[in-house]
Structure 1
Amino acid sequence: MQPGQAQFDQGMVVEVEIGSLSVAASPRSSGEDMDHIRALAEVRAPLPPIVVHRSTMRVIDGVHRLRAAELRGDKKIAIAYFVGSESDAFVLAVESNITHGLPLTMADRKSAAARIIVSHPQWSDRMIASVAGLSPGTVGEIRRRTAGGAVAHGSRIGQDGRVRPVNNAIGRERAGKIIRENPGLSLRQIARVAGISPETARDVRNRIRRGEEPLPQPRTKPRPRRARQPEDTGLPLGGGAAPAAAAAETRTAAERVSEVNRLKADPAMRFSETGRTLLRMLNIHILTGAEWQEIIDNVPPHARKIVAGLARECSGIWWDIAARIDHHEVPQD
């Protein structure tokens, strides 16, 4: 199974006895959120079916919906079966709790990534990162620390389903030879024969045209690292762009977490499409200073200018949204 390609019985949704289901092996170490369960129990509209591993009857996605049904006194619940291995079921559980529902903590995401590295060692760092909600660099670091993370044949499957070598030095050297011998080949042809991506093939071809070697040369001078910001200061990254009066009202990181969690428990937010969208957006901003720094450290050098520009533009958008909410008039009945 690849991320986003879960295998379900042909669209079949059935009702089963709640007592027949198991909730073991959840990727969520903190357990269940009772406020969320109570909010779900009060919803009168039918909730989406939960997802259950067919061979083990273990709940993959929807434990809180299951607990809400129990709280209401229901004896049965609607389910959709997942057909696959237990390791693939765990991957789906992680992926589901990243894309919707109460998000997993950073610690849970890292723990899940370590488990997936062992169960799916052939997957690339980028593929596992897309499942666990981490950066590829973080997954790479976890892989280096995780026993059993080695790949037997030195290759991994990428998000596009293609197999590529872990160390593309050999592929680059092979591509360089192919380009010198057959300069008229397309990038896709070069990439296919050399076992690299078309973008890597493009880079190799450009290097050869400039008279350089196919492999990038290592840096001779280390890049100075930016000083880490103090964690949980509550100040916005980048500091001085906010007006002084607004900056004085900025909450600490702990206060932001508390406020966002209160919103998550609000049915008016949880059960409207716009509310869920807003919660996903706000959830980004409850990361700690260390988590933000980890993201910053893993921005590729070639993308830093673009990311910095987008970050500044997004901060302006948020200030505009705040001003418009402050002055928004609620329509009268």
Structure 2
Amino acid sequence: MVAVPVASLLPADSPRLAGVDPEHVDLLAALSGLPPVLVHRGTLRVVDGMHRVHAARLRGETSVAATYFDGDEKEAFLRAVERNLTGGGLPLSLHDREAAAVRILATYRQWSDRAVATAAGLSPTTVGAIRRRFFVPGGGGDAGGRVGRDGRIRPLDAAAGRLRASRWIARHPDASLRAIARAAGISVGTAHDVRARLRTGRDPVPPRPAAPGAPRPTAPAPPRPRTAAGKPPAGWPAVRDGLARDPSVRYTAAGRAFLAWADAHVLAPNDLVRLDGLVGAVPPHWRAAVAEAARSCAAAWLEFARELERRARAESGSPD
């Protein structure tokens, strides 16, 4: 154990998406005999103990007791997660552990779900779901992305990173840009662009620019969905009525559960007359947050629609 100047320490590559908790810092500042922080010897970056470092600064101390870690930066992140899971301090949230699992999977694709689950404090089932959601099966060791020397995940396919971010935003609408970027393995700037695009109803992946000198095609109007008869589809009430009469829906637990879920989540055209009253029920200081949550719900519905269409094309044998 050595005394290390506080001013020489670099911020941790922490698994905590929200960063340092000021209330926990105040609590630690009132205590004595805190354990030493863990510092990466090669970079002087804190591996574990940022709250203790901030507590020392709050007390006016110029140095802090520390021990050194000599592994590489990928191993340092694993150690940081381990310490935060078993060290008895402020626990990691579920969002923290899920984001850590994404990073671990991107770095150690050969690890089993059980091994990643042990490292991230999750169940193997949850890790398996994360692997299927964020990584291409059989894509090889770097299919999800490559981890640079700074520990950040840089996806080989920018579109894949944007889609991961859109899914993360749909599941965690209140997440910060830094949390979205870390979870999806993209830059904060890209996370900002993805969220801005979702807020305005656009695709999270921008269209590819045309090659230099190539004629710019006129963008066709978005096609309206059509039924087999070539007519625009009916609204949700008619679709629901048809679903409710379908034996594969009516007489299965999954079908009945879907109808009950959809009834609670679908906004039919007839509901538009109630929107003014619904908007008025939201307090002014909550309107921006509720609007963002509504856009996140819309993004989740868009992803749901795309998956339905993809499966319909696959079953009909039509090309994507």
Q: Which category describes the TM-score, using the shorter chain as reference length?
A: 0.3 to 0.5
TM-score normalised by the chain length of structure 1? 0.41
- The TM-score normalised by the length of structure 2 is 0.42
